[in-house]
Chain A
Protein backbone atom coordinates (compact mmCIF):
# COMPACT_ATOMS: atom_id res chain seq x y z
CA UNK A 1 0.00 0.00 0.00
CA UNK A 2 1.28 3.45 -0.86
CA UNK A 3 1.56 5.59 2.25
CA UNK A 4 0.47 9.21 2.03
CA UNK A 5 1.78 12.21 3.93
CA UNK A 6 -0.11 15.47 4.16
CA UNK A 7 -0.09 18.44 6.55
CA UNK A 8 -2.04 17.88 9.73
CA UNK A 9 -3.74 21.26 9.52
CA UNK A 10 -4.00 24.44 7.46
CA UNK A 11 -5.63 27.81 7.97
CA UNK A 12 -7.03 30.05 5.29
CA UNK A 13 -9.38 32.98 4.83
CA UNK A 14 -12.57 33.28 2.87
CA UNK A 15 -12.05 33.98 -0.80
CA UNK A 16 -8.51 32.61 -0.90
CA UNK A 17 -7.29 29.69 -2.97
CA UNK A 18 -6.16 26.75 -0.87
CA UNK A 19 -3.63 24.20 -2.03
CA UNK A 20 -3.14 21.01 -0.04
CA UNK A 21 -0.19 18.89 -1.07
CA UNK A 22 0.08 15.19 -0.45
CA UNK A 23 3.20 13.06 -0.79
CA UNK A 24 2.99 9.45 -1.95
CA UNK A 25 6.52 8.42 -2.84
CA UNK A 26 5.71 4.73 -3.14
CA UNK A 27 2.74 5.04 -5.45
CA UNK A 28 2.32 2.04 -7.72
CA UNK A 29 1.81 2.15 -11.46
CA UNK A 30 -1.83 1.13 -11.23
CA UNK A 31 -2.73 3.38 -8.30
CA UNK A 32 -5.09 6.32 -8.63
CA UNK A 33 -5.10 9.40 -6.39
CA UNK A 34 -8.37 10.29 -4.75
CA UNK A 35 -9.38 13.08 -2.39
CA UNK A 36 -12.23 13.01 0.09
CA UNK A 37 -13.72 15.71 2.30
CA UNK A 38 -15.27 15.10 5.70
CA UNK A 39 -17.38 17.43 7.80
CA UNK A 40 -17.96 16.78 11.51
CA UNK A 41 -20.56 14.09 12.21
CA UNK A 42 -20.72 13.11 8.54
CA UNK A 43 -19.17 10.44 6.41
CA UNK A 44 -16.39 11.26 3.95
CA UNK A 45 -17.45 12.71 0.61
CA UNK A 46 -15.66 12.11 -2.69
CA UNK A 47 -14.15 15.25 -4.19
CA UNK A 48 -11.93 14.31 -7.09
CA UNK A 49 -9.80 11.54 -8.54
CA UNK A 50 -6.92 11.50 -10.99
CA UNK A 51 -4.10 9.44 -12.40
CA UNK A 52 -1.74 12.03 -13.90
CA UNK A 53 -1.51 15.67 -15.03
CA UNK A 54 -4.51 17.79 -14.11
CA UNK A 55 -8.12 17.04 -13.36
CA UNK A 56 -10.77 19.69 -12.74
CA UNK A 57 -14.37 19.48 -11.72
CA UNK A 58 -16.91 21.91 -10.34
CA UNK A 59 -15.48 21.66 -6.85
CA UNK A 60 -11.71 21.43 -7.14
CA UNK A 61 -8.64 20.81 -9.25
CA UNK A 62 -6.09 18.09 -8.79
CA UNK A 63 -2.53 18.58 -10.00
CA UNK A 64 -0.30 15.54 -10.39
CA UNK A 65 3.32 15.90 -11.58
CA UNK A 66 4.85 13.50 -14.04
CA UNK A 67 6.55 11.38 -11.38
CA UNK A 68 3.23 11.04 -9.49
CA UNK A 69 5.05 11.08 -6.16
CA UNK A 70 2.87 13.91 -4.95
CA UNK A 71 -0.41 15.60 -5.73
CA UNK A 72 -2.00 18.94 -4.91
CA UNK A 73 -5.67 19.54 -4.26
CA UNK A 74 -6.63 23.08 -5.14
CA UNK A 75 -9.80 24.66 -3.77
CA UNK A 76 -10.61 27.98 -5.47
CA UNK A 77 -12.00 30.82 -3.40
CA UNK A 78 -12.82 28.90 -0.22
CA UNK A 79 -15.72 29.79 2.00
CA UNK A 80 -16.43 29.08 5.66
CA UNK A 81 -18.33 25.98 4.63
CA UNK A 82 -15.15 24.46 3.23
CA UNK A 83 -13.86 23.99 6.77
CA UNK A 84 -13.41 20.23 6.95
CA UNK A 85 -10.87 17.43 6.97
CA UNK A 86 -9.42 16.57 3.57
CA UNK A 87 -8.03 13.11 2.92
CA UNK A 88 -5.58 12.15 0.23
CA UNK A 89 -5.87 8.48 -0.70
CA UNK A 90 -3.85 6.40 -3.09
CA UNK A 91 -5.86 3.64 -4.66
CA UNK A 92 -5.32 0.45 -2.72
CA UNK A 93 -6.18 -1.91 -5.48
CA UNK A 94 -7.10 -5.27 -4.14
CA UNK A 95 -7.98 -8.55 -5.68
CA UNK A 96 -11.58 -7.67 -6.20
CA UNK A 97 -12.46 -4.39 -4.55
CA UNK A 98 -11.54 -0.75 -4.28
CA UNK A 99 -11.23 -0.44 -0.53
CA UNK A 100 -10.16 2.98 0.61
CA UNK A 101 -7.14 3.46 2.86
CA UNK A 102 -7.46 6.67 4.87
CA UNK A 103 -4.58 8.49 6.50
CA UNK A 104 -4.80 11.24 9.06
CA UNK A 105 -6.05 13.91 6.68
CA UNK A 106 -5.56 17.67 6.67
CA UNK A 107 -7.81 19.74 8.88
CA UNK A 108 -8.60 22.93 6.96
CA UNK A 109 -9.92 25.88 8.91
CA UNK A 110 -11.36 28.73 6.86
CA UNK A 111 -11.64 31.98 8.75
CA UNK A 112 -13.77 35.03 7.93
Chain B
Protein backbone atom coordinates (compact mmCIF):
# COMPACT_ATOMS: atom_id res chain seq x y z
CA UNK B 1 0.00 0.00 0.00
CA UNK B 2 1.40 3.40 -0.97
CA UNK B 3 1.99 5.83 1.83
CA UNK B 4 1.33 9.53 1.98
CA UNK B 5 3.20 11.32 -0.77
CA UNK B 6 4.10 14.97 -1.02
CA UNK B 7 5.29 17.07 -3.91
CA UNK B 8 7.67 18.72 -4.34
CA UNK B 9 10.19 17.42 -1.86
CA UNK B 10 11.98 20.75 -1.87
CA UNK B 11 11.04 24.17 -3.16
CA UNK B 12 13.12 27.34 -3.24
CA UNK B 13 11.29 30.55 -4.07
CA UNK B 14 11.81 34.25 -3.66
CA UNK B 15 9.91 36.40 -1.25
CA UNK B 16 6.65 37.52 -2.82
CA UNK B 17 6.30 34.52 -5.10
CA UNK B 18 3.62 31.86 -4.91
CA UNK B 19 4.15 28.20 -4.11
CA UNK B 20 1.71 25.31 -4.13
CA UNK B 21 2.39 22.18 -2.17
CA UNK B 22 0.58 18.96 -2.90
CA UNK B 23 -0.32 16.01 -0.70
CA UNK B 24 -1.73 12.67 -1.76
CA UNK B 25 -3.08 10.81 1.27
CA UNK B 26 -3.38 7.07 1.65
CA UNK B 27 -6.30 5.84 -0.41
CA UNK B 28 -9.46 5.64 1.61
CA UNK B 29 -8.33 8.00 4.36
CA UNK B 30 -10.97 10.63 4.90
CA UNK B 31 -8.88 12.68 7.33
CA UNK B 32 -6.08 14.81 5.97
CA UNK B 33 -3.91 17.12 8.06
CA UNK B 34 -1.30 19.72 7.32
CA UNK B 35 1.49 20.51 9.79
CA UNK B 36 4.67 22.51 9.53
CA UNK B 37 7.93 22.96 11.34
CA UNK B 38 9.62 26.30 10.92
CA UNK B 39 13.31 26.62 11.69
CA UNK B 40 14.15 25.71 15.26
CA UNK B 41 10.55 25.33 16.31
CA UNK B 42 8.23 22.42 17.01
CA UNK B 43 5.91 20.77 14.54
CA UNK B 44 2.67 22.74 14.53
CA UNK B 45 -0.79 21.83 13.30
CA UNK B 46 -2.18 23.92 10.45
CA UNK B 47 -5.50 22.41 9.44
CA UNK B 48 -7.63 19.32 9.13
CA UNK B 49 -9.87 18.12 6.31
CA UNK B 50 -12.55 15.49 6.57
CA UNK B 51 -13.08 14.48 2.98
CA UNK B 52 -13.39 17.78 1.14
CA UNK B 53 -14.52 19.84 4.12
CA UNK B 54 -12.27 21.93 6.31
CA UNK B 55 -12.93 20.61 9.79
CA UNK B 56 -10.44 22.75 11.64
CA UNK B 57 -8.21 25.48 10.29
CA UNK B 58 -7.32 27.07 13.59
CA UNK B 59 -3.60 26.59 12.99
CA UNK B 60 -3.41 28.48 9.71
CA UNK B 61 -1.07 31.41 10.38
CA UNK B 62 -2.71 34.02 8.15
CA UNK B 63 -4.68 34.56 4.98
CA UNK B 64 -1.64 34.09 2.78
CA UNK B 65 -2.19 30.36 3.24
CA UNK B 66 -4.96 28.60 1.33
CA UNK B 67 -5.66 24.89 1.54
CA UNK B 68 -8.00 22.94 -0.68
CA UNK B 69 -9.07 19.36 -1.05
CA UNK B 70 -11.34 19.22 -4.04
CA UNK B 71 -13.11 15.90 -4.42
CA UNK B 72 -11.84 14.70 -1.08
CA UNK B 73 -8.70 13.11 -2.47
CA UNK B 74 -5.45 15.02 -2.76
CA UNK B 75 -4.91 18.38 -1.11
CA UNK B 76 -2.98 21.49 -2.00
CA UNK B 77 -1.55 24.17 0.23
CA UNK B 78 -0.84 27.47 -1.47
CA UNK B 79 1.26 30.21 0.01
CA UNK B 80 0.73 33.57 -1.68
CA UNK B 81 2.73 35.73 -1.38
CA UNK B 82 5.48 33.83 0.40
CA UNK B 83 7.42 35.53 3.18
CA UNK B 84 10.78 34.66 4.68
CA UNK B 85 9.17 33.33 7.86
CA UNK B 86 7.26 30.74 5.84
CA UNK B 87 10.44 28.75 5.36
CA UNK B 88 10.28 25.33 6.95
CA UNK B 89 9.13 21.78 6.40
CA UNK B 90 5.47 21.21 5.60
CA UNK B 91 4.11 17.80 6.51
CA UNK B 92 0.91 16.20 5.40
CA UNK B 93 -0.70 13.33 7.28
CA UNK B 94 -3.77 11.20 6.78
CA UNK B 95 -5.79 8.85 8.91
CA UNK B 96 -8.82 6.63 8.82
CA UNK B 97 -11.92 7.63 10.68
CA UNK B 98 -11.49 5.78 13.96
CA UNK B 99 -13.20 8.27 16.16
CA UNK B 100 -11.85 10.62 18.74
CA UNK B 101 -9.70 8.03 20.51
CA UNK B 102 -7.24 7.34 17.72
CA UNK B 103 -4.19 9.47 17.13
CA UNK B 104 -2.55 7.21 14.56
CA UNK B 105 -1.74 9.43 11.63
CA UNK B 106 0.42 8.55 8.65
CA UNK B 107 2.83 11.27 7.67
CA UNK B 108 4.39 12.05 4.36
CA UNK B 109 8.10 12.87 4.02
CA UNK B 110 7.42 16.58 3.99
CA UNK B 111 8.13 19.44 1.61
CA UNK B 112 11.04 21.64 2.55
CA UNK B 113 10.19 25.21 1.58
CA UNK B 114 12.92 27.82 1.43
CA UNK B 115 11.94 31.44 0.86
CA UNK B 116 14.85 33.72 -0.02
- For chain A, the bracket of interface size reads 20 to 34
A85 to chain B, nearest CB (A): 10
A44 pairs with B107, CB closer than 8 A: yes
B88 to chain A, nearest CB (A): 13
A41 pairs with B109, CB closer than 8 A: yes
- For chain B, the bracket of interface size reads 20 to 34
Cα separation A44 to B91 with both chains bound (whole Å): 9
**Who on chain A is nearest to B110 by CB?**
A43
A102 pairs with B43, CB closer than 8 A: yes
Point out the residue from B31, B91, B104, B107 that lies within 8 Å of A97, measured CB to CB: B31
A46 within 8 A of B: yes
A99 pairs with B108, CB closer than 8 A: no
Looking at chain A's contact residues, the main secondary structure is loop
A96 to chain B, nearest CB (A): 5
Contacts of A45 in B (CB 8 A): 107
Task: Give residues 47-72 of A contacting B (CB, 8 Å).
Answer: 49, 51
B56 pairs with A99, CB closer than 8 A: yes
Contacts of A81 in B (CB 8 A): none
A32 pairs with B103, CB closer than 8 A: yes
A83 within 8 A of B: no
- A: residues with CB less than 8 A from B are 30, 32, 34, 41-46, 49, 51, 89, 91, 93-104
